[in-house]
Amino acid sequence: KYKRSPSEIFTCQLCGLSSPFTYYGQKPPNTRAIVLLEECFVTKDPFSPDKEKFLVLGSTCSMCSSCVCVGSDCSLFYTKRFCMQCVNKYLDQFPHQIQAELAKKRQSSKTAVS
Ligand SMILES: [Zn+2]
Ligand SMILES: [Zn+2]
C-alpha cells in the first residue's frame, strides 16, 4: 500500500513527471458519484472552477507498485494498472488485442521519430 509522503508530490517513476496531488484513493472527495476503477493520485483540476472536476495524475503498478502516470507511454490500464516496464515484461500474458494495440503504437511512434 502506498504511504503518504509529507511532500504530497506524485512523481512518475518512468517519465519523471511530478505534480502535487490532493488525494490518493478510489473516491475523490467533493465528488458525488465518482468511484474510480483503481486507486489513483488525484488533484483538483486547476483550470476548472467546478469543485467536482479533478485530474487523475497516475496510479501504482499492480505488479511492481511503481508510481506511474496515466500517460500511454508510461502505463496501461487493463483490469488493473500496469507500468510499461511490466507490460513489456509480461506482454505475452496480455490478450492479443492489447498486444496488437501496443505493437501498432510502437510502430507509429517509430515513424514519428524518423
Ligand atoms: Zn509518466
Ligand atoms: Zn510495474
What would the pLDDT profile of 4-26 be if each residue is shown by its tens digit?
A: 555 689 999 999 999 999 999 99
Contact 57, 42 (CB under 8 A): yes
Distance 75 CA to ligand 2 centre (A): 8
How many angstroms is it from 83 CA to the middle of ligand 1?
9
Domain-embedded: residue 1: no
The residue among 53 and 114 whose pLDDT is bigger is 53
pLDDT, average across residues 42-54: 84
Q: What is the CA(51)–ligand 1 centre distance, in A? A: 26
Backbone angles phi, psi at 41, to 5 degrees: -85, 125
* Total of domains in the chain: 1
Question: Minimum-distance ligand to the CA of 10?
Answer: 1
Q: Considering the domain boundaries, does residue 70 fall inside one?
A: yes
Q: 94 C-alpha to center of ligand 1: Å?
A: 21
Q: What is the mean pLDDT of residues 95-114?
A: 82
Q: How far is the CA of 85 from the centre of ligand 2 (A)?
A: 6
Determine the average pLDDT of the residues in 67-89. 96
In this structure, is residue 50 part of a structural domain? Answer: yes
Residue 52 maps to a domain? yes
Domain that holds residue 68: 9-87
Contact (Cβ atoms closer than 8 angstroms) between residue 38 and residue 31: no
Ligand 2 center from residue 21 Cα (angstroms): 21
